[in-house]
């Protein structure tokens, strides 16, 4: 079971899908691992405890039982909602989100994944089943704009190759999110921007950080690992603006930073403006916890480089993804307030 022929037959039996498959270089390609799109904890346990052969047998035996939604599921559904709106306005355009399902699984598991995709009415036509090999080379070939995985090591590998990437976690508590508007929230330093200011904070403290920001107010921050993904979202937003949909745009972006507005926020805003980018909303929290603000925003995904903030957001039910980049990976956040990053 699970041969290439059977997998193709599964595709043939499906309901008609949108016929427009954009070329990777034109699309905003989001690669999602099966372990974050769906809940696969039981299967992972079988793999760890009983090995690969028993795991494959288990998957084939249960191939008609769809996986439950995982932490990236609502994000992917929101991407598809944006695509539907884009197709209404630009029927021939290939500037769309293109979702690629990436999995270390062997082809034998493909039937169950396709059954699950059909069950949840997802529009995912591109699969990358690597049979245990690293997917990073394939991500580059797909021109991947964002990679979401449960495997922190693979995420670090992707970041090292210049691919925007983040680690996702299964949370027991998930807040209800918008069905009609994609909401994406970003931390600033070491996410949209480099970790330059974070390094100053770690080595010179809060006073040194504030002085450095004042002295460098007109010096642009270097780019961070997710800068280009924000740019990709901005490019699609402008397509809606061009058709008169600025106020009801189905994409909304947020900067949620522990920087304080007066003393260190201006440099962040000037940098975004110089890049030709903007977020719809910018929240400068001056060290206050991010969780309550994120609970009000209810993003489909929030990106932060510090596990302290990721865990705080997850406790409130926000889907938060960790970007393992920069100095904060060496010096984890202590539970104290900070008006820097």
Q: Residue range 86-109: average pLDDT?
A: 91
Instruction: Report yes or no: 309 and 320 within 8 Å, Cβ to Cβ.
Output: yes
Closest to 143 in 3D by CA, of 130, 161, 122, 125? 161
Tokens 């999995």 belong to residue:
103
Q: What is the 3-state secondary structure (H, E, C) of the chain?
A: CCCHHHHHHHHHCCCCCCCCCCCCCCCEEEEEEHHHHEECHHHHHHHHHHCHHHHHHHHHHCCCCCCEECCCHHHHHHHHHHHHHHHHHCCCCCCCEEEEEEECCCHHHHHHHHHHHHHCCCCCCEEEECCCCCCHHHHHHCCEEEEEECCHHHHHHHHHCCCCEEECCCCCCCCCCCCCCEEEEECCECCCECCHHHHHHHHHHHHHHHHHHHHCCCCCCCECCCHHHHHHHHHHHHHHHCCCCCCCCCEEEEEEECCCHHHHHHHHHHHHHHHCCCCCEEEECCCCCCHHHHHHHCCCEEEECCHHHHHHHHHCCCCEEECCCCHHHCCCCCCCCCCCC
Res. 333 pLDDT band, cuts 50 70 90: low
φ/ψ of 167, rounded to 5, equals -95, 130
The model's confidence at residue 15, banded by pLDDT at 50, 70 and 90, is very low
**pLDDT(295) > 60:** yes
Task: Give the other-Cβ count within 10 Å of 26's Cβ.
Answer: 13
**What pLDDT is stored for residue 43 in this prediction?**
92
Give bridge partners of residue 193 from the DSSP assignment: 189, 223
pLDDT tens per residue across span 44-58: 999 999 998 999 999
* Res. 2 pLDDT band, cuts 50 70 90: very low
Longest distance between any two alpha carbons in the chain, whole Å = 65
Of the two residues 337 and 223, the one the predictor is more confident about is: 223
Give per-residue pLDDT as tens, 267-276. 999 999 999 9
Q: Tell me how long the chain is.
A: 341
Residue-level pLDDT at 155? 97
Per-residue model confidence (pLDDT) at position 189: 94
User: Average pLDDT, stretch 101-119?
Assistant: 90
- pLDDT over 60 (residue 11): no
To the nearest whole number, what is the mean pLDDT of the chain?
89
Torsion angle, alpha carbons of 96, 101, 102, 103, to 10: 180
Percent over 90 (pLDDT), the chain = 70
Say which range, 198-207, 244-253, 273-282, has the weakest mean pLDDT: 198-207
User: Across residues 148-177, what is the average pLDDT?
Assistant: 93
109 pLDDT band (50/70/90 cuts)? confident
Residue 19 confidence (pLDDT) above 50: no
pLDDT of residue 341: 45
Does the pLDDT value for residue 296 go beyond 90?
yes
pLDDT range class, residue 13, cuts 50, 70, 90: very low
Confidence of residue 25 (pLDDT cuts 50, 70, 90): confident
Q: pLDDT band at 6, cuts 50/70/90?
A: low
**DSSP-assigned beta bridge partners for residue 184:** 253, 301
At residue 307, φ and ψ (nearest 5 deg) are: -60, -30
Mention every residue, 6+ apart, whose C-beta is less than 8 A from residue 188. Answer: 255, 257, 259, 268, 341
Catalytic residue numbers read 187
pLDDT of amino acid 185: 98
Both tokens of 279, joined, read: 């977020």
Chain center to CA of 153: 16
For range 316-335, the mean pLDDT: 85
What is the DSSP pairing of strand 28-33 with strand 144-149?
Answer: parallel
């Amino acid at each position: 079971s699970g041969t290439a022929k059977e997998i193709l037959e599964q595709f043939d039996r499906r309901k008609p899908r949108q016929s427009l498959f954009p070329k990777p270089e034109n699309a905003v390609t989001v690669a999602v691992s099966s372990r974050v799109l769906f809940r696969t904890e039981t299967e992972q346990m079988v793999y760890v405890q009983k090995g690969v052969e028993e795991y494959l047998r288990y998957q084939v035996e249960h191939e008609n039982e769809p996986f439950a939604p995982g932490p990236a599921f609502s994000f992917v559904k929101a991407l598809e909602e944006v695509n539907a709106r884009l197709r209404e306005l630009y029927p021939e355009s290939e500037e769309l989100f293109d979702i690629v399902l990436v999995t270390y699984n062997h082809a034998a598991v493909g039937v169950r994944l396709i059954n699950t995709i059909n069950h949840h009415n997802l529009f995912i036509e591109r699969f990358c089943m690597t049979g245990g090999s690293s997917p990073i080379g394939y991500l580059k070939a797909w021109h991947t704009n964002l990679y979401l995985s449960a495997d922190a090591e693979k995420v670090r590998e992707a970041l090292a190759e210049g691919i925007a990437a983040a680690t996702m976690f299964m949370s027991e508590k998930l807040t209800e999110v918008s069905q009609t508007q994609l909401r994406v929230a970003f931390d600033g330093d070491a996410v949209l921007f480099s970790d330059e200011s974070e390094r100053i904070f770690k080595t010179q403290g809060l006073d040194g950080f504030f002085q450095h920001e004042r002295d460098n107010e007109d010096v642009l921050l270097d780019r961070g690992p997710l800068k280009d993904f924000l740019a990709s979202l901005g490019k699609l937003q402008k397509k809606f603006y061009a058709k008169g949909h600025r106020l009801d745009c189905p994409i909304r972006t947020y900067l949620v930073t522990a920087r304080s507005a007066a003393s260190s926020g201006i440099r962040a805003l000037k940098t975004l403006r110089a890049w030709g980018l903007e977020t719809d909303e910018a929240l400068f929290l001056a060290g206050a916890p991010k969780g309550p603000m994120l609970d009000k925003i209810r993003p489909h995904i929030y990106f932060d480089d510090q596990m302290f903030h990721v865990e705080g957001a997850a406790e409130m039910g926000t889907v938060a993804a960790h970007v393992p980049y920069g100095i904060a990976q060496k010096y984890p956040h202590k539970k104290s307030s900070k008006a820097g990053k």
